[in-house]
Structure 1
Amino acid sequence: MATLELKNLWKEYGDDVVLERLNATVETGEFVTIVGASGCGKTTFLKMLLGTESPTRGELLLDGKPIPDEPDETRGIVFQRYSVLPHLTAERNVMLAGELESSRFLGRAFGRMRLALRNEARQMLEDVGLGHAMHKYPHELSGGMQQRLAIAQALMKKPRILLLDEPFGALDPGIRRDMHKLVLKLWREQNLTVFMITHDLEEGFFLGTRLWVFDKDRLDPQAPGAYGARITYDLPVGRDDAHTLDSIADRVDSTARALND
């Protein structure tokens, strides 16, 4: 059975149609990269997967059942802007989800529970290459290290699905390459199903096993919100097809210009 199914999925805000007619199935362990012009609903789709937005029409199914309508331990997310808490050490940032689960009001675990959480957090920090920085605060870490910390935080509850919203956009090329290696390593080792938004087509082809292009193939200049984006390309990755990459880039650029006019 597919891990995730999109069945005629729509998202609308009043008269503004953001997404329309999304149909796809994603199996466990796939790495789906998502590209498209700004404003085409990519982040909105990720929010529906997370559970902070609900579909207007259609079905979004996880293992044949409606996906939970609020975030839970099945899904972890990493944003472009570092989502770690500045007043907590790296270790405490990674422990936080478990501590909140232990005591929602105090946000602290005690005794054996706290010891177990600390050991898990330290192992996760080792896994993402931050074992040496567990007692440092976020402001003491570089951008790449902060993003590693955010990934450790997202994976602490052992989610089945990892959502990445342009997580490497603010990093320089050398650090991005290191982050690519880390994400691919964790994806393989933990058998994650990954959905990642990127504006870099080459990054999308390099990281993903499958690339989706969100695009508005119906545009009305007089009513820009009348039609939504859909998945116009669904490409298996693993081939060097420069012509395909160039044609997608041209289409994304033309849609971006139409949306901004």
Structure 2
Amino acid sequence: MSLVSLRRLEKHYGDQVVLERLNAEVNEGEFVSIVGASGCGKTTFLNMMLGIEPPSRGALLLDGKPIPQEPGADRGVVFQRYSVFPHLTSLENVMLGTEFTQARWLGRVWGSARRDIAAQALAMLQQVGLGQAADKYPHQLSGGMQQRLALAQALTKKPRILLLDEPFGALDPGIRRDMHQLITDLWRQHRLTIFMITHDLKEGFSLGSRLWVFDKIRHDPQAPDRWGASITYDIPLDRKSTGLERQLDDIVYPRQDVA
């Protein structure tokens, strides 16, 4: 059985159709890069995966069952803007998710239980290269370090699925290269299934094991919201498809709309 199934999946907002006829099967351990012009529903799809947007039609399944309509520990998420708590240190940010879970059943976490959580959080910080920054606050970290912290925070509950919404878009090229290597290492080490939105085709081809292109198949100039985007290309990647990358560039971004 596939880990994630999209079966005639659609998302509407009133009369506006954002996504329609999404059909796909994703196996555990795949890395799906998602590209498409601005406004074509990429983030909407990620929000449905996260559980904060319900499908309008069709089915979005995890292990053959509808994805819960709330975020869960099985799905971690990293946004383009660093989603960490500014009043907590790096270590406290990573500890927080586990503390919340245990406090839900045990009340506030103290003593050896809290020390165990701290040790696990420190080990995760070391995995993402922030072991020496455990006591620093987010404002004391560079952009790349803050994004590493967001990754550690997302992975601390050992999710099966990692959702990335343009996680490297705000980073300088040199830092992005380091982050590309880090996410590849984490993907393999933790055997994650990843869905990553990017506006950078080269990034999508270089990181993913599979590339989805979101675009509208049907157009109505008199009613532009009548039809939604679908998965128009679903391409297995060997990470060497540079010729196909150039061909798709004009299809996905015909006016170089990469904002």
CA contact (8 A) 1:96 1:107 kept: no
Distance 2:38 2:113 in 1: 44
Distance 1:164 1:33 in 2: 9
Q: Which moved more, 1:4-13 or 1:95-104?
A: 95-104
The yes-or-no answer on 1:33 pairing with 2:33 is yes
Distance 2:238 2:111 in 1: 49
Residue 109 of structure 1: how far off its partner (Å) = 2.1
The yes-or-no answer on 1:148 pairing with 2:148 is yes
Q: Which moved more, 1:211-220 or 1:149-158?
A: 211-220
Query: Identity over aligned residues, as a percent?
Result: 65
- Secondary structure of the structure 2 residue equivalent to 1:103: helix
Matches within 5 A, 1:197-212: 197-212=197-212
1:96 match: 96
Q: 1:55/1:49 Cα in 2 relative to 1: closer, same or farther (>3 Å)? A: same
Give the TM-score, by structure 2 length.
0.95
CA contact (8 A) 1:28 1:193 kept: yes
Q: Which moved more, 1:129-138 or 1:237-246?
A: 237-246
CA contact (8 A) 1:36 1:42 kept: yes
Residue 218 of structure 1: how far off its partner (Å) = 1.1
2:166 match: 166
Distance 1:27 1:209 in 2: 11
- Please tell me the residue identity of whatever aligns with 2:170: A
Distance 2:255 2:229 in 1: 10
CA contact (8 A) 2:53 2:69 kept: yes
Matches within 5 A, 1:15-26: 15-26=15-26
- Secondary structure of the structure 2 residue equivalent to 1:251: helix
Distance 1:107 1:87 in 2: 22
The yes-or-no answer on 1:110 pairing with 2:110 is yes
Q: Which moved more, 1:31-40 or 1:112-121?
A: 112-121
Distance 2:63 2:235 in 1: 23
Residue 16 of structure 1: how far off its partner (Å) = 0.2
CA contact (8 A) 1:215 1:255 kept: no
Distance 1:159 1:230 in 2: 27
1:68 match: 68
Give the TM-score, by structure 1 length.
0.95
* Superposition RMSD in Å: 1.7
- Please tell me the residue identity of whatever aligns with 1:56: S
The yes-or-no answer on 1:245 pairing with 2:239 is no
CA contact (8 A) 2:209 2:239 kept: no
CA contact (8 A) 1:216 1:255 kept: no
CA contact (8 A) 2:208 2:239 kept: no
CA contact (8 A) 2:204 2:211 kept: yes
1:180 match: 180
Distance 2:172 2:91 in 1: 25
Residue 27 of structure 1: how far off its partner (Å) = 0.4
2:131 match: 131
Q: 1:69/1:166 Cα in 2 relative to 1: closer, same or farther (>3 Å)? A: same
Residue 252 of structure 1: how far off its partner (Å) = 1.7
Distance 1:248 1:191 in 2: 29
CA contact (8 A) 2:83 2:150 kept: yes
- Please tell me the residue identity of whatever aligns with 2:71: P
Matches within 5 A, 1:223-242: 223-238=223-238, 240-242=240-242
CA contact (8 A) 1:100 1:106 kept: no
**CA offsets, 1:203-243, max 9 Å, x none?**
00000000000001211122111000000000011153344
Distance 2:233 2:256 in 1: 16
Q: 1:205/1:52 Cα in 2 relative to 1: closer, same or farther (>3 Å)? A: same
